[in-house]
Amino acid sequence: MLLGQSPPALRSIRILAGTGWLLPTPQPLPLRDAQLLHPHGVSVDARGRVYIADTGHNQIDEYNPATGQMRCVAGGGTQKPSAGWLAATRVRLRNPWSVAADGDGNIYVADSGAGLIEKVIIHTGQIKVIAGGGNAPVTGSPLPALSLALLAPEQVAVDRHGNVYFAVTVLGADASEILKLDTGLHTIVAIAGLGPLRAKHSPHQGNQIRLPGAVALAVAFNGDLYIADAEAGCVYRLKSRSGKLSIYAGGGKRMPGASPLRPRAARLNQPLAVAVDPPGNLYLLQSVPGQTGGLMMLLEVSRQDGKLHVVSGLGHRWPSLRPIAARAVALQAGALASDSFGTIYITDTQRSTVEVISSSAEQN
C-alpha cells in the first residue's frame, strides 16, 4: 500500500479543533480552549502545521501539533491590507474564505470580501497584497497582478514553484474563471473558465473551456491543477505541461457507494471541495444525494487502484472528540486538506469545527 493511504474502512474521525470558548489571538493557547466561527478553508504545510480560514472571526489561525497550541497568524486588526508589508495580525481581513500553504513557510489567503489575494510570511509575521485592488478586468493576456479587480475570490491554491491559483466569479457570464499568478513576474493570466466549450473526457485547452460553477482548487505535486465544478458535477484536471483540461472524475451514471468505481463512471452530486496529497491520492467532498441539511460525503480516488472509494459520510452519528469509524458519521463539511501521510483535515462550517481523519491505529 502506498504512502499516504489507508483502507477507507480502517479510518477514523474525530474533532480536532473548535470546541473551546476563547478567540485565538497572536498569543498561543491550548487547542482545546480555541473557538472557531464558521471556518471555511483549511491547509496543511510540510511540517504538519494546520492553517484554518476562520471566516466568522475574519482571521487565519494556525494549529501547531508539536506544541498542541493554536494562535492567530493573520487578521484580527484594523489596518487595511496594502501592497507593502504590514504586521499580519494588525490588518483587517474581510470574509477570508480559503488558505493555502506552500513549502517555504508562507500562506496565501483568498480575502473574499476585500477582493484580494494576500501573502503571509509566517516566520516574520508579515502580510501584503499580491493580487487585486485595481480596476482592470482579467483577460487571457498577462496583466500586473495589482492592477486587476477581483470579484469575491473564494479559493486559492499554490504549487511547489510558488505560483498561485484562484477562482473568481464573473458577473454576467454565469461562470467562474481560474486565474494563475506568476509570483516571479507578478502577473496574472486567465487559464480556464470562459471559453465556449464544455469540458469532456477528451482534453481541450483550458482557456477554451467554460466552467459554470468552479468552487474548489487543488494542486498536485507535479503541478496539475484539479478543479471541482459543483454545477457540472465533475472534477477536472488541468495538465501543467500542456495546459489541457479534461474530466478526471464524474460525468458517469453510477452513484458512489460501497463498491469502488472508475472515477469517470461515477455520477457526482455537487462536488464542493477537492484536495490532493503529495503521493497523488485525490479527495473530494460532494453533497449526499437526496439529503438535506448540508450533508456531505468524502470520496477518494486512490493512487493504488485508480478507483473512487467512499471514505466518510455514510452514517448518522456526528463526529465527536473521541475517534469513531469514519464511514459511520454524517458530515457537514466545507473544505478539506491532506498531508503526506494521508491524514485528512475537514472544516465543518455549520458546527464551527475542524475534524481530522486518519488510520484507526493513529487515532486510538
118-160 confidence digits (pLDDT tens):
999 999 999 999 999 999 887 778 999 999 999 889 899 999 9
pLDDT at 9: 59
pLDDT at 197: 84
What is the SS3 assignment for the chain? Answer: CCCCCCCHHHEEEEEEEEECCECCCCCCEEHHHEECCCCCEEEECCCCCEEEEEHHHCEEEEEECCCCEEEEEEECCCECCCCCCEEHHHECCCCEEEEEECCCCEEEEEEHHHCEEEEEECCCCEEEEEEECCCECCCCCCEEHHHECCCCCCEEEECCCCCEEEEEEECCCCEEEEEEEECCCCEEEEEEEECCEECCCCCEEHHHEEECCEEEEEECCCCCEEEEECCCCEEEEECCCCCEEEEEEECCCECCCCCCECHHHECCCCEEEEEECCCCCEEEEEECCCCCCCCEEEEEECCCCCCEEEEECCCCECCCCCCEEHHHECECCCEEEECCCCCEEEEECCCCEEEEEEEHHHHC
> Per the structure block, which three cell numbers stand in for 343?
491524514
Q: Is the pLDDT of residue 363 over 70?
A: no
Hey, which residues does 138 pair with through a beta bridge?
Answer: none
162-203 confidence digits (pLDDT tens):
999 999 887 666 778 899 999 888 999 999 987 888 888 888
Stretch 284-303: mean pLDDT? 89
Which of 277, 155, 298 lies closest to 222 in space, CA to CA? 277
Which of 100, 92, 103 lies closest to 127 in space, CA to CA? 92
pLDDT level of residue 81 (50, 70, 90 thresholds): very high
Q: Is the pLDDT of residue 73 over 70?
A: yes
229-278 confidence digits (pLDDT tens):
999 999 999 999 999 999 999 999 999 988 899 999 999 999 999 999 99
Exposed, middle or buried: residue 140 (CB in 10 Å: 0-12, 13-18, 19+)? Answer: exposed
Q: For residues 303 and 251, give the distance between their C-alpha atoms in angstroms, rounded to a whole number.
A: 20
pLDDT at 53: 98
pLDDT at 173: 64
311-326 confidence digits (pLDDT tens):
999 898 999 999 999 9
Percent of the chain with pLDDT over 70: 95
Q: Is the pLDDT of residue 70 over 60?
A: yes
Which of 282, 344, 314, 273 lies closest to 16 in space, CA to CA? 344
Stretch 94-113: mean pLDDT? 96
With a CB cutoff of 8 Å and minimum separation 6, the contacts of 145 are 117, 130, 131, 132, 181, 186, 187, 188
pTM beyond 0.85: yes
pLDDT at 3: 45
Tell me the longest C-alpha to C-alpha distance in the chain. 53
- Quick one: CA dihedral 170, 101, 142, 196, positive or negative? negative
Q: Are 325 and 308 in contact (CB under 8 A)?
A: no
